[in-house]
Amino acid sequence: MEVIKSIIDFILHIDKHLAQITHDYQGWTYLILFLIIFAETGFVVTPFLPGDSLLFAAGALIAGEQTGLNIYILALLLIVAAFVGNTVNYMLGNYLGPKVFKENNKILKLDYYLQTKAFFDKHGGKAVIFSRFLPIIRTIAPFVAGVGSMPFGRYSLYNITGGFAWVISFLFLGFFFGNIPVVKQNFTLVVFAIILFSIIPPIWAAIKSRSGKKSV
């Protein structure tokens, strides 16, 4: 329970925690942020780690304080972290998918595997890119892409495209707008807004999908 409270506190007051990390660890902050982004995108069990808000807060911190961090170096490192994390997640899905989805498995049915493969054959590129901007889904999508045996070369192209767009957009949004007085004074509300606007699209899509199935 304490761990959950600590994670929630870290996310809601990420600007203060990030400032403390930078003060305590200085240049090691690059590695710490690299590992957080890598884990958030690389392991299907860690979707609770901050992603969008972390990027925004890091950009705002660099713009507003003498941190010694370089925005361009950080951007490059976090793009690499996002790319490598998703690649690891994809490989795990690709390795485990055929082994766990079997005809006699009542939960992980073979039909689910075949449906997943068909989905990524048809929509894989868009799913990989747009999932970057959706919390939880961006952690699950690369694993599912691996399960669906999306060709690795094709997956990698969309992986780097989505990772680049995600990191650059949120990091530089924070850099240019994070220190506007009204944003800085209400940073927790801004974090809430970022999370809310990120999760609305998949929730809305799920509701529409359910209502569509009921009407059939």
Q: What is the pLDDT of residues 113-158, one digit of tens each?
A: 666 666 677 777 888 888 898 888 888 888 888 888 889 999 999 9
pLDDT at 171: 96
- CA dist 193 to 134, 167, 188, 197, Å? 13, 18, 9, 6
CA distance 54 to 191: 9
What's the farthest any 2 CA atoms get from each other in the chain? 59
Distances (CA, A) of 35 to 98, 178, 216: 29, 23, 46
How open is the CA angle 15-195-211, to the nearest 5 degrees?
Answer: 175
Q: What is the pLDDT of residue 111?
A: 64
State how far the Cα of 159 lies from the Cα of 148, in Å rounded to an integer: 15
Kindly state the average pLDDT of the residues 81-101. 88
Task: Find where tokens 């595997």 sit.
Answer: 113
E strand map for the chain:
none
Question: Is the pLDDT score of 78 beyond 90?
Answer: yes
Distances (CA, A) of 105 to 115, 119, 131, 192: 15, 21, 28, 40
Residue spans of the domains in the chain: they are: 2-215
* Cα–Cα distance, 86 to 94 (Å, whole number): 12
What is the C-alpha separation between 168 and 132, in angstroms, rounded?
A: 12
Report, as an integer, the average pLDDT of 157-172.
96
Q: Is the pLDDT of residue 213 over 60?
A: no
What is the pLDDT, as a whole number, of residue 185?
84
Give the integer Cα–Cα distance in Å for 69 and 62.
Answer: 6
pLDDT band at 66 (very low <50, low <70, confident <90, very high): confident
Residue 1 pLDDT class (50, 70, 90 cuts): low
pLDDT at 99 over 70: yes
- What pLDDT, on the 0 to 100 scale, is given for residue 33? 96
CA-CA distances (angstroms) from residue 211 to 116, 119, 198, 214?
21, 20, 22, 5
pLDDT score for 102:
62
Report percent pLDDT > 90 for the chain: 35
Q: What is the predicted pLDDT for the residue at 131?
A: 85
How many residues appear in the chain?
216
Phi, psi of 13 (to 5 degrees): -120, 45
pLDDT bucket at 178, cuts 50 / 70 / 90: confident
Predicted local distance difference test score (pLDDT) of residue 48: 83
The model's pTM is 0.84
pLDDT band at residue 29 under the 50/70/90 scheme:
very high
- Res 79: pLDDT: 97
Cβ atoms of 163 and 90 closer than 8 Å: no
- pLDDT score of 191 more than 70: yes
User: In this structure, what token pair is assigned to residue 165?
Assistant: 């767009």
